[in-house]
Chains A and B, each alone.
Chain A
Amino acid sequence: MSGVHVTTTVNGDPVEFVCPADESLLDVLRDRLGLTGAKEGCGTGDCGACSITLDGQLVCSCLVLGAEAEGKKITTVEGMADGENLHPLQRQFIDNAALQCGICTPGFLIAAKALLDKNPDPSVEEIRYALAGNLCRCTGYDKIVRAVQAAAKDLQKQNRK
């Protein structure tokens, strides 16, 4: 296969891969690196199921080429938990039943974390705007918003300690 050789960092680990120049980073993550957390919902940047961060910036990995990952720092949902300990967002998504089928969940978790990293105490409106790029056809969003509010409180408590 003729392709692009890429050296990058995924969830803190150095990673190398070779991919065709037109392959998306989403396909690289899923099919070459075995990180199947990010999902393909639409492939056009509308649904957010493929959300990751690239050098700290929230993006849709379906609209990034694998080749563009050279020298970048990527985080995916697989990097959220600390070993066996779930991230407060993951814990609260479970406790609030903020998922049903779960396809959108990794994208919501990544987008919600990007929000809380910037704004530790968001209003409901701010949460809804920040998650507007993530679609969920099961929950009706209310439970997701509640889970993010609860996780924000948990993180504030954690940071006070």
Chain B
Amino acid sequence: MRYESPTTAKAAVDLLSKEKGKAYVLAGGTDLLVRLRMDMIEPDLMVDIKNIPAMNEIKKTPSGGFKIGAAVSGAKLGANKALKKAWPGVVEATNLIGSDQIQGRCTMVGNLCNASPAADSVPAMIAAGAKANIVGKKRRTVPVEDIVTGPGKTSLAKGELIEAITLPKKAPKSGDAYLRFIPRTEMDIAVVGAAVSLTLKKGVVEKARVALGAVAATPLLVKEAADAIIGTKLDDEALEALGAACSAACKPIDDKRGTVEYRVKVAGVLAQRAAKIAYERAGGK
């Protein structure tokens, strides 16, 4: 295996696209190096992106949103007060990943590209309307929900990597939240994750996005769930419809963490709770 540590995105793209063998992008390494140590992968090349200055930055975008570099750790994300104030759901979701040791290294983009159906930060990013800035032969920007195509699989082509995640400007009277269910207080993989982002107009939900994790082969953006709360004051009837829409969207598997029946039920309950938090954060009463 060769280890390369380029200092520009262009050099990283060149290395990845020219490699004839198996090439991997190394950000925090909290998934990749586990797979390396367990002999699940045999890389010919590992391209460390942490020495690319732009990928280590959290920047305000000209339109008032945030651009978060692909190498920004969970710890660094959690220490950014402006970002936490604007998008608390996204930051909290990322900070749920692993221990303090893991937070020192893990990244949102790594969580996305590892493409686990149970990734915590991904539903939160999808609900927030985050976009992935991809560099390769050409630059392209796609919604985060278009990246993961199946467990461990992404829509990125050879020679492409995600340079940053952009979050839109936080609208006035908006809020987001992510909740995950695990059988203990922390250090576990989601049985179900639910993220809600919404914007209010005179106390009524004007816009909403709802996303679920760990209930299908990929994280899900559930339009029917958003539609169930748009135009409402998140009353009991709306919450009931939200829960039902989330449960209906689930296509989970049975495994040691939860059964199909359990995941379907919990997805609805968690989405309702996340929606209430998002509603409060948006200033709704």
Interface residues of A (CB under 8 A from B): 4, 20-22, 24, 43-46, 48, 51, 54, 57-60, 62-65, 67-68, 70, 111, 114-115, 129-130, 132-134
Contacts and interface: CB of A to CB of B under 8 A. Distances in A.
B100 A58 contact: yes
B102 interface: yes
Nearest to A67: B3
B29 A65 contact: yes
Contacts of B3: 4, 21-22, 65, 67
Contacts of A54: 104
B104 A68 contact: no
Contacts of B100: 58, 111, 114-115, 130, 132-133
* In the A-B complex, the 7 residue pairs with the closest CB atoms: A133-B99, A21-B3, A57-B104, A67-B3, A133-B101, A59-B104, A22-B1
A4 B43 CA distance: 16
Contacts of B105: 57, 59-60, 63-64
A95 to B, nearest CB: 25
Interface of B: 1-3, 5, 26, 29-30, 33-34, 36-38, 43, 46, 48, 50, 73, 75, 98-102, 104-105, 186-187
Contacts, number: 85
Contacts of B36: 22
Contacts of A111: 100-101
Given A132-B99, A133-B187, A63 B5 contact: no
Contacts of A4: 3
B106 to A, nearest CB: 9
B33 A133 contact: no
B33 A129 contact: no
Contacts of B34: 43-45, 63
B105 to A, nearest CB: 5
Contacts of A58: 100-101, 104
A21 B2 contact: yes
A43 B37 contact: yes
A70 B7 CA distance: 14
A44 B38 contact: yes
A58 B76 CA distance: 12
Nearest to A115: B100
Contacts of B33: 24, 62-65
Contacts of B50: 68
Contacts of A44: 34, 37-38
A67 B186 contact: no
17 contacts: A4-B3, A21-B3, A44-B34, A45-B30, A45-B34, A45-B98, A48-B101, A51-B101, A59-B104, A64-B29, A65-B33, A67-B48, A68-B29, A68-B50, A132-B186, A133-B187, A134-B99
A1 to B, nearest CB: 13
Nearest to A64: B29
Contacts of B46: 21-22, 65
Contact of A21 (B1, B73, B99): B1
Contacts of A67: 3, 5, 48
Nearest to A110: B101
